Amino acid sequence: MSAGPRKRFRIGMWVLGLLLAAVAMLATYVWWVVYSFDTETLPPRHGQVDAELFVREGGTRPLLVGLGGSEGGNPWASERWKEQRERFLDQGYALLALGYFGTPNSPEHLDRISLDGVHAAIMEAARDPRVDGRCIAVIGGSRGAELALLLASHYPEIRAVVAIVPGSAVFPALTDAMTTSGFSLGDQPLPFVPMTWAATPHLFTGDLRAAFATMMRDTAAMQRAAIRVERIDGPVQFVSAAKDEMWPSKEMADAMMRRLQAHGFRHPAEHVVVPGGHAEPLDEFPKMEAFLETHFKQACR
């Protein structure tokens, strides 16, 4: 081997060594994050939420609870959602905008979010004299749809659900470690589909759909963590995205429809599939409004 190729070979080996060292350091860091995370202590402000009730004067009105997704905060109270919030108010609803993480008075992360705490805030709003506490519906998107379905499957006071790009099971917390459940009941974490090492590379490349699809191959975990949608005491609408880049919302909504049919679900249930990605169903609020008007609001009269 002449001097030129030998030099290039040495440089190539040096670069390869640096890459291997970087990979080893990254793997060590990930291992440390995962195994050093406190899975026993509940997060600060556990069970607390930020809630804001929007309601027009004059009579009592059905309560519609709005839940955001993995963006955190309280999006239904924001200027971005003002137009749709006003539409619901014009249609005769009271709207409770509920922030369950990422707000000043709620947990920092979506980590073991307390169903009890969210439910308590909903019931407090239902006692407002301007609200018809017998008629409560929940609308949520993405991880908020996961929460909406969980709430309705555990609390019979919730009489209808609109689940936008939903998950069919409980998934991990949105922490760096992702080693705890996203939600809890009675201060105990709900069974969840674990983040696997096989799914981790997809997270690093930003392919969230592939990460969730890899996790969902654990069929036993999916069964243990499945949301018992058949327990919901009212109509359910799923609105999914055919080309969802975040997680397989269409496939999970299909699975929940099959679950409802297998259990002889006695309430109206429908699945609206929207072409496009994760955000596209937000253009379909008229269909959600029509579903709520027909199957929820009219039943409250």
pLDDT of residue 204: 81
Task: Give one DSSP letter per residue of the chain, joined into a string.
Answer: --HHHHHHHHHHHHHHHHHHHHHHHHHHHHHHHHHHS-SSSPPTTTT--EEEEE--SSS-EEEEEEE--TT-S-GGGSSTTHHHHHHHHHTT-EEEEEE-SSSTTS-SSSSSEEHHHHHHHHHHHHTSTTEEEEEEEEEEETHHHHHHHHHHHH-TTEEEEEEES--SB--B-SSSS--SBSEEETTEEPP-PPPPTTTHHHHHHT-HHHHHHHHTT-HHHHHHHB--GGG--S-EEEEEETT-SSS-HHHHHHHHHHHHHHTT--S-EEEEEESSSTTGGGG-HHHHHHHHIIIIIGGG-
pLDDT of residue 31: 45
pLDDT of residue 268: 97
pLDDT under 50: residue ranges of the chain: 9, 16, 18, 20-24, 26-27, 29-33
Taking only the tens place, the pLDDT of each residue in 58-79 is 889 999 999 999 999 999 999 9
The owner of tokens 């080693």 is 179
The rounded distance, in Å, linking the Cα atoms of 34 and 205 is 18
Other beta carbons within 10 angstroms of residue 87's beta carbon come to 14
Task: Describe the strand order of the beta sheet including 94-99 as a list of residue ranges.
Answer: 50-54, 94-99, 61-67, 131-141, 158-164, 236-241, 269-274
What is the pTM for the complete model shown?
Answer: 0.89
Query: What spatial distance separates the first Cα and last Cα of the chain, rounded to whole Å?
Result: 89
The rounded distance, in Å, linking the Cα atoms of 107 and 72 is 10
The rounded distance, in Å, linking the Cα atoms of 301 and 233 is 17
CA 95: distance to chain centroid? 19
Task: Describe the strand order of the beta sheet including 183-185 as a list of residue ranges.
Answer: 113-114, 183-185, 188-189
* Contact indicator for 266, 235 with CB cutoff of 8 Å: no
Six-digit token string for 76: 């239904």
The number of residues in the chain equals 301
Six-digit token string for 176: 């760096």
Q: What angle do CA 220, 270, 278 make, to 5 degrees?
A: 70
The owner of tokens 């009890």 is 116
pLDDT of residue 197: 83
pLDDT of residue 23: 44
Six-digit token string for 20: 């291997």
